[in-house]
Structure 1
């Protein structure tokens, strides 16, 4: 039966410090796949990297399609609750509970596509009951790659959830901009135009891992960021974070952050024509070609 539904797609940037190449990113994912320790997202929620396929598309080159498995990593030794009696379960009631140690409940399957040549990963953050927020996707891959880098001797990797395109402009549009904080982790040298690469060169020249800078307005004034500050913020949006503080038109304090507005775009899936994975791949190709 044909079904038309809406899925939501987000994007994260995976930036490896030099030396790096598309092949090196593929090796990173292979190393990450070998890690079977669940990554704790929040409370009992955990995730692990599922199966992956390494493919080639004639226009976009190599890419990886795969799944993230999210589940409840329950503590079998914790106290149980009897919902009928509305009270803690007794030892007698729990004595017959036998959950195999390899089984975990409430599985959610999150599909993703990764393009090694521009190190961008697209994933479905919501499809029916399968959900994974961009913030938790960022946390998952950052911790996973930290383990992979340690195990496989890779250069450091920084994972950033890509914000909505208008998020930077919203910061600069704060009526009275009192303070702006910019954190830029090392971007890849092939990410940007020549003018933008100077930030990477500045970091490399000083053996620096990242730039952390803040502009604070004079009393009674509003910041007027110049082109270099705007450019730095634009690069940092996909390789770090930008936070703006100020006042709205009514004098009320306001805070805007790129971390609070990750890319979250709805797309329609017609099950009679295509799969959600087809839509995901098409969207990811359209964003990189």
Structure 2
């Protein structure tokens, strides 16, 4: 499982439900790796008629076959002439090959999306692939950013911020790098419900100045490195779930290191019996506990 933070302003659980409903109603797709595309293929309430309790659905991925591209015959080892290639036009435009699905659940109150890192090929495949399709948190963040950038979404919901939750222990390692030479925080406006009163002051500063994103960059004056104070560390912890944190410096072995929270997404593993359970059922049962462990809230 991977986990992603999706943030709207103003924050309201029903607006998150409306966001996914709107996205499902639109015929928009996102580009992803290896000439594939993805779109929101299915979404519904985990418990019927109670969408605020959680949504479940699937992202569909397929190979974007361009019938206008050059074609070659592997039998004759010759490129098809344009007149010969016209026969591929018989393939209906709505049929796409190499189709697979990735299940997800989304909790409006926590505004976190948990998804399967490994997907499933559809049962109509004529072959039985040995390995399931896979997708990283970074890939899904990129996909969601494209989908949420659709004009219809922006017009109704404004800017939608998407961040893959990083591993907390890795962030803490980054914050105590002994000879830190460069420290950079990119903070997008967080949801105030996520934090205690102490952290909300950062949100108030952004709101008071009408700022959506803030970048803070520090460079060491001496080789001994940057000494982060508690406020800066707290800001980094907020930015880790709402933007990113980057550090550069030297470790105890005097080796130069560069770390970014984007490179260390938080994941978890759940085992199940595929003969008895579907992945989305397992997600519905286990994802909320995963969210609570990562976010630290009910």
TM-score (ref. length: structure 1): 0.89
Secondary structure class of the residue paired with 2:270? strand
Which one has a larger percent helix, Structure 1 or Structure 2?
A: 2
Distance 1:237 1:192 in 2: 13
The answer to whether the Cα contact below 8 Å between 2:104 and 2:114 also exists between their aligned partners in 1 is yes
Matched, 1:227 2:230: yes
Q: Is the 8 A contact 1:46 1:70 kept in 2?
A: yes
2:191 matched to which residue of 1? 188
Cα distance in 1 between the residues matched to 2:166 and 2:21: 27
1:94-118 CA-to-partner distances (Å, cap 9, x unmatched) read 3432321111111110000000011
Structure 2 residue corresponding to 1:102, chosen from 85, 88, 94: 94
Assess, with a 3 A threshold, how the Cα gap between structure 1 residues 79 and 117 changes in structure 2: closer, same or farther: same
Alpha-carbon distance, 1:24 to partner: 1.0
Superposition deviation, residue 43 in structure 1: 5.1
Q: Which residue of 1 aligns with 2:124?
A: none
What are the residue-to-residue correspondences of 1:105-116 with 2, within 5 Å? 105-116=97-108
Q: Partners of 2:154 and 2:258 in 1: how far apart?
A: 39
Provide the rounded CA distance (Å) in 1 between the counterparts of 2:74 and 2:239: 49
Q: 1:62 to 1:149 in 2, by over 3 A?
A: farther
Scaled by the length of structure 2, the TM-score of the pair is 0.86
**SS of structure 1 residue aligned to 2:271:** strand
How far does the alpha carbon of each residue in 1:54-105 deviate from its partner, in whole angstroms, 9 at most, with x for none?
A: 2349x99511000000111122111123344555444465343232111111
Given candidates 65, 69, 76, the residue that maps to 1:74 is: 65
| Count of paired positions | 279
| Comparing 48-57 and 117-126, the one that deviates more | 48-57
Q: Give unpaired runs (5+ residues) of structure 2.
A: 120-130, 293-297
Other structure's SS at 1:156 match: coil
CA shift digits 1:135-154 (9 cap, x unpaired): 11111112212226646521
Counterpart-to-counterpart distance in 1, 2:234 and 2:106: 26
Equivalent position to 1:145, from 122, 144, 148? 148
Listed as ranges, the gaps of 5+ residues in structure 1 are: 1-8
Q: Flag the 1:164–1:89 CA change in 2: closer, same or farther, 3 A.
A: farther
Aligned-pair distance for 1:197?
Answer: 0.8
Residue in 2 that maps onto 1:25: 16
Q: Do the aligned residues in 2 keep the contact of 1:31 with 1:152 (CA within 8 Å)?
A: no
Q: How far is 1:164 from its partner?
A: 1.5
* 1:37 counterpart (17, 28, 33): 28
In the alignment, what sits opposite 2:171? 168
CA–CA separation in structure 1 for the residues paired with 2:169 and 2:76: 52
Shift of 1:50: 0.7
Higher strand share: 1
Following superposition, the deviation at residue 262 of structure 1 comes to 1.1
Q: Which one of the candidate residues 278, 282, 287 is aligned to 2:285? A: 282
Distance 2:172 2:100 in 1: 35
